[in-house]
Amino acid sequence: MQVPEFYEFHCPVKTNAGINALDHIPIELEAMDARKPLIITDKNTYSKGIIKHVASAFSESGIVLGVFDGVGDTADISTIRDLYQRWQYKGIDSIIAVGSGAVLDTAKGLNIAVSGKPEDLRKNAESIKTRLKPLVAVLTGYSNGFEISKYAFIGELTFTSPFLMPDLVVVDPRMVRSESALRIAETAMITFSHAAEAITHASKNPLSDCYAYAALEYIRHCLMEALKNPKDKKSCLALAEASSMAGCAFSNSRFGMVHELGQEIAKQRLLSSGQAMGILLPYGIEYQTLKCGFQAADMLIPLVGFNDFVDTPQNQRNQKVLSLIRQMQDNICSTVQLPRTFKDVQIEKEKLKKVAQKVAESSSSGIREDAYLTVLNAAYDGKPIMG
């Protein structure tokens, strides 16, 4: 057992998960001295009609709820500016963000503006130093853990502060059903990458391990069931919970290669981040295990259970984890139309080179461009790095 000499862990997020979790929102808001929330979502989520479940939780409060469903594909300053004006004269005191990605980024951006000054949105990423207004994140079928994280991506700016993490995360079975097995696979791959890199990274600590372990176990037990039957409430709920756990672990860890490359590929619009991370996962974890001192073996217990962990000789545990990840990738790819390699989706090697260059420029991990390129090339050919 390794006891870290020093670590920091910060997770101010309260989680309400399970049957009727939504109905607890009013009393939770009241505990935060908030009574008039604004619901922020996107058109896709609104058109599914699930916002009515959130609204019905306020049936006894007698208030009129404001709902904004104009969040686009990415969070932008102009939307936040419009919302800020609405906030000023509607007496709103808290935010309920229903959805994932841009919805949460917009909610976090609005929270920065209304809790301090709107100009704070133009300052540098480390400018948020105090508690913000109450923020509730209601996860939907496409949540991937970023919602819970301390990051907000608004336009070209990235904000990082533990105060950006929501005060409350709600995972309700009525909200997390997904129509598409492919989207489930994509979000699960992001969750898996976040949990796997949090568990194996040098900055890991016993508390982030707890979150990441639980997330991996949920994925192990529920992912294939959810892919076979995307309308299955239990497995979709479990995957949404896993994404929030992985988000907490990820917020207390450094970015790993899979995350960095996956995000950059999505940013350059070559592939969605879920698909990119799904392709990169075995190669990124393998490289970091071989060259960066990652302990892939730390993932073995949540992936196979304690008995199989004990049965695996210590010197074979890293290899076993890598083969399990490859096996999982195969299973997913044969169940849904998820690409196995970058060659399958015809991304040219030249473009991958640009991705490696860009990530190496912006990364604080000190990993060199050729290392990123090795992983990308292995993921292009679909061949393990060690051959």
Where do contacts with other proteins occur on this chain (CB under 8 A)?
18-20, 23-24, 26-27, 30, 51, 55-61, 64-70, 82, 86
CB of residue 68 vs other proteins: minimum separation in angstroms? 5
Query: Distance between CA atoms of 286 and 382, rounded to whole angstroms?
Result: 13
Evaluate whether 162 touches 150 at the Cβ level (below 8 Å).
Answer: yes
Smaller CB separation from other proteins, 92 or 271: 92
Instruction: Identify the DSSP state of 63.
Output: P
CB of residue 142 vs other proteins: minimum separation in angstroms? 19
Identify residue 386 by its one-letter amino acid code.
Answer: M
Identify residue 232 by its one-letter amino acid code.
Answer: D
Evaluate whether 196 touches 281 at the Cβ level (below 8 Å).
Answer: yes
CB of residue 79 vs other proteins: minimum separation in angstroms? 9
Smaller CB separation from other proteins, 1 or 64: 64
User: 320 is written with which tokens?
Assistant: 């076993």
Smaller CB separation from other proteins, 4 or 18: 18
Closest CA to 210 of 173, 156, 252: 252
Evaluate whether 130 touches 152 at the Cβ level (below 8 Å).
Answer: no
Query: Distance between CA atoms of 367 and 84, rounded to whole angstroms?
Result: 40
CB of residue 103 vs other proteins: minimum separation in angstroms? 12
Instruction: Identify the DSSP state of 26.
Output: H
Smaller CB separation from other proteins, 56 or 229: 56
CB of residue 89 vs other proteins: minimum separation in angstroms? 12
Query: Distance between CA atoms of 186 and 196, rounded to whole angstroms?
Result: 15
Smaller CB separation from other proteins, 14 or 291: 14
Query: Distance between CA atoms of 166 and 15, rounded to whole angstroms?
Result: 10
Smaller CB separation from other proteins, 114 or 198: 114
Smaller CB separation from other proteins, 4 or 72: 72
**Count of residues for the chain?**
387
Closest CA to 166 of 143, 187, 189: 143
CB of residue 20 vs other proteins: minimum separation in angstroms? 5
Distance of CA 237 to the CA centre of its chain: 15
Evaluate whether 356 touches 369 at the Cβ level (below 8 Å).
Answer: yes
Smaller CB separation from other proteins, 97 or 223: 97
CB of residue 104 vs other proteins: minimum separation in angstroms? 17
Q: Provide DSSP, 86-143.
A: HHHHHT--EEEEESSTHHHHHHHHHHHHHHS-GGGGGS-TT---S--S-EEEE--TT-
Smaller CB separation from other proteins, 60 or 119: 60
Query: Distance between CA atoms of 261 and 281, rounded to whole angstroms?
Result: 10
CB of residue 155 vs other proteins: minimum separation in angstroms? 18
CB of residue 241 vs other proteins: minimum separation in angstroms? 15
